[in-house]
């Protein structure tokens, strides 16, 4: 950014108004830059009714069944994604029903126009075939693909959603880079 110094003969009141306008413009640009890319390039009017029916956006977070979810498009390892969620006061998402899973898939599709393979908070790194959610909730629902989890090569301990043609769950190496979904229990 280049700053230029210009000398004008302005009254103190005009200088104050100009300064205030510049500060307001900088704040607006900073806030706009900091907002997550919720729905880049989409026709917001055409899709707003769809979003309102199943997912309500609030500053990048979507309310689904009393919890807030946020899609993070930047690919990261599972551990990096969990740490990123924690930096926002959240965890990688836990999923507790087929309806909730469908809504998370819809959230990803609305943002990306695709069903991208995405990290959610499941892990069995603590004990083989003993799956936990990183947010501490009970692991009672699953949507595994046929033959999964299989721990192929003995190194698959993290859970991705939207795998394969069936768009189901797969255990995969935690070092892979994927986008992720965070969840906050309380807002």
Domain spans of the chain, in order of start: 10-39, 44-184
- Predicted confidence at residue 186, as pLDDT, reads 64
Give yes or no for residue 148 having a pLDDT over 50. Answer: yes
Give the whole-angstrom CA distance, residue 57 versus residue 93: 16
Instruction: Between 18 and 69, name the one with better pLDDT.
Output: 69
- Predicted confidence at residue 60, as pLDDT, reads 85
Give yes or no for residue 5 having a pLDDT over 90. Answer: no
- Predicted confidence at residue 65, as pLDDT, reads 86
Q: What percent of the chain has pLDDT over 70?
A: 67
Least Cα distance to 156 among 185, 123, 133 occurs for 123
**What kind of fold does domain 44-184 have according to CATH?**
Mannose-Binding Protein A; Chain A (3.10.100)
pLDDT digit string (tens) for 112-135? 999 999 999 999 999 999 999 999
Instruction: Calculate the average pLDDT of the chain.
Output: 79
């Amino acid at each position: 950014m280049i700053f230029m110094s210009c000398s004008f003969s302005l009254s103190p009141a005009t200088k104050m108004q100009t300064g205030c306008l510049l500060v307001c413009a900088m704040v607006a640009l900073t806030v706009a830059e900091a907002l997550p890319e919720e729905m880049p390039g989409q026709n917001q009017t055409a899709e707003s009714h769809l979003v309102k029916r199943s997912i309500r956006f609030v500053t990048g977070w979507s309310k689904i069944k009393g919890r807030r979810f946020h899609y993070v498009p930047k690919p990261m390892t599972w551990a990096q994604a969990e740490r990123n969620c924690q930096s926002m006061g959240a965890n990688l998402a836990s999923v507790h029903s087929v309806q909730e899973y469908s809504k998370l898939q819809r959230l990803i599709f609305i943002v990306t126009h695709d069903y991208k393979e995405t990290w959610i908070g499941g892990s069995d790194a603590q004990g083989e075939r003993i799956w936990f959610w990183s947010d501490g909730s009970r692991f009672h629902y699953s949507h595994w693909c046929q033959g999964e989890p299989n721990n192929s090569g003995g190194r698959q301990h993290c859970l991705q959603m939207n795998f394969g043609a069936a768009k189901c769950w797969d255990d995969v190496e935690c070092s892979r880079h994927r986008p992720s979904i965070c969840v906050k229990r309380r807002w």
